[in-house]
Amino acid sequence: MAVVKGALLVAGTTSDAGKSVVVAGLCRLLARRGVRVAPFKAQNMSNNSVVTLDGGEIGRAQALQARACGLEPSVRFNPILLKPGSDRRSQLVVRGKAIDTVGAKDYFRHRTELRAIVAEELAALRDEFDVVICEGAGSPAEINLRATDLANMGLARAADLPVVVVGDIDRGGVLAHLFGTVAILEPEDQQLISGFIVNKFRGDVDLLKPGLDQLEALTGRPTLGVIPFAEDLWIDAEDSLGTVADAPVGRPRPPLGANWLTVAAIRLPRISNSTDVEALACEPGVSVRWVSDPSRLAGADLVVVPGSKSTVSDLEWLRRTGIADALTARAAAGGPILGICGGYQMLARTIVDPVESAAGTVAGLGLLDLEIEFDDPKVLRRSRGRVGDHAGLGGDDALPVHGYEIHHGRVTHTGDRPWFELDGLPEGSVREAIWGTHLHGALESDEFRRAWLRRVAEQAGRPEFIVADDVSVAEVRASQLDLLADLLEKHLDLDALERLITAGPLSNVPTLTVKK
């Protein structure tokens, strides 16, 4: 592919169809070829977010896509983020800052302002970069939401973007999904749909080809590639669809010693930043699984209570399911437990929350001598520091650690040892085999993670578990992006994609009609 200039929108037949990974792969592929490329997702709905250098938060998928481009994450790449706190209401984050909590109906009052913000950010990126690869949200087939759509056909129409639709064949019915996505759209939107990509194909592609030929005959639009299912590919989860109970995280590799280290990560209903546990899954001999049943905690060497967008609500769920009792019994028996952000808050003695749930004072699990109070504004910061002097990691207490914080909860009292010293201040809690922190991404600090895993293995009675001394989470993620780019380079029609990016949508494509 030669150096090109333009933009493209990657939409999907459904959520989790492969939009995020295709955008990340295209960004990586273009960047490797010397193209100045940037990602863009006008509006995202996800509780997996990161803090950017410019002091805001964006969806984690867009941060990964920025890395694929060789760029630092920026609020420019995801100007609108919705973080669901319940089935009906979400926190509205605009240019990295939370400005409101909205439901579907009162979101309408923001649409004019948000549409202008999206247009302004995309135009600025297109001026600065050769190529902007945009990612849609959900599916453009959600015609009930078309009036407020900012990320799919609303964006494509406003910026005259060619649209490629990705379908996940692993789900079944992909040809119907692709055809129906086009057919259900209004004629003006259909004119921008310029091709299809089939994702996660297994088997002989020659058996699929007749169907793709018929799809092109019916729609007038080509399939630009069939991406095979790649066993070794696992990319950061975009949202909660990537955290399925009883499913493994990553691709577990055999242990270096005689023991595995098993990790049960609790799949909370309003889980946020689920990607924190992926650093553990990079290690050979560490098997990480999402769990939602208390029986799954019994045999685990480590239990992780991850972040939550609704700490008090998810704490109530822990109690209702019996997981809270299992955690209490585990703590009494000396079994290692890690709480991160919302999960850390749940381990406290008390939580005072007039902000997120308006529940007032709520009893926590009481596993840490900790008191939490929620307040505005939300804490958003990237932090660096080291392991605390008395954190219990032996001679490794000066190890560097880095990460980011996204939370309303503040520690108002702690009687436990601090885990870290960040920017000169104590952070986190350590009590015997219970560990807690507000710091997301800490486990990506390689030296710290290794030392901490050795301590966890000791606490769990796994003396023959050996921690690898050469795993780099950053290098694992980079290799995943390169693997993805290699797949797209081999299996997509890059010349056709280049023409769409530079010349815009296909011309003279037919309009499909649906009988009324």
Q: Please pick, among 69, 341, 407, 408, the residue that the annotation labels catalytic.
A: 341
Residues 168, 73 contacting (CB under 8 angstroms)? no
Q: Is the torsion defined by CA of 492, 495, 497, 498 positive or negative?
A: positive
Report the alpha-carbon distance of residue 193 to residue 250 in Å, rounded: 33
Instruction: Check if 341 is active-site.
Output: yes
SS3 468: coil
Task: Report yes or no: 388 and 426 within 8 Å, Cβ to Cβ.
Answer: yes
**Number of CB atoms found within 10 A of residue 141's CB:** 22
Give the number of other CB atoms < 10 A from CB of residue 392.
18
Q: Locate 5 and state its tokens.
A: 């200039």
The two three-digit tokens of residue 124, written as one number: 């600025």
The span from the CA of 488 to the CA of 189, in Å, is 26
How far is Cα 187 from Cα 181, in angstroms, rounded to an integer? 12
By DSSP bridging, strand 80-84 and strand 89-94 are antiparallel
Query: CB neighbours (10 Å) of residue 359?
Result: 17
The first and second tokens of residue 338, run together, are: 């890690």
Closest-CA residue to 101 (of 83, 78, 75) = 83
Q: Are 269 and 313 in contact (CB under 8 A)?
A: yes
Q: Based on the residue annotation, tell me whether 69 is a catalytic residue of this protein.
A: no
Catalytic residue of the set 110, 177, 438, 440? 440
- Angle 174-183/205-219 helices, nearest 10 degrees? 10
Picking from 470, 467, 472, 473, the residue whose alpha carbon sits closest to that of residue 260 is: 467
User: 394: burial class by Cβ within 10 Å (0-12, 13-18, 19+)?
Assistant: exposed
- What angle (nearest 5°) sits at the alpha carbon of residue 458, between those of residues 456 and 460? 70
Q: Measure Cα distances from 151 to 143, 161, 275, 310 in Å.
A: 13, 11, 24, 26
Alpha helix locations (H) across 230-310? 278-281
* Rounded Cα distance, 244 and 289, in Å: 9
Of 142, 40, 67, 164, the residue nearest 509 (C-alpha):
164
CA nearest neighbour of 9 among 500, 488, 487, 430 = 500
By annotation, the residues acting in catalysis are 341, 440
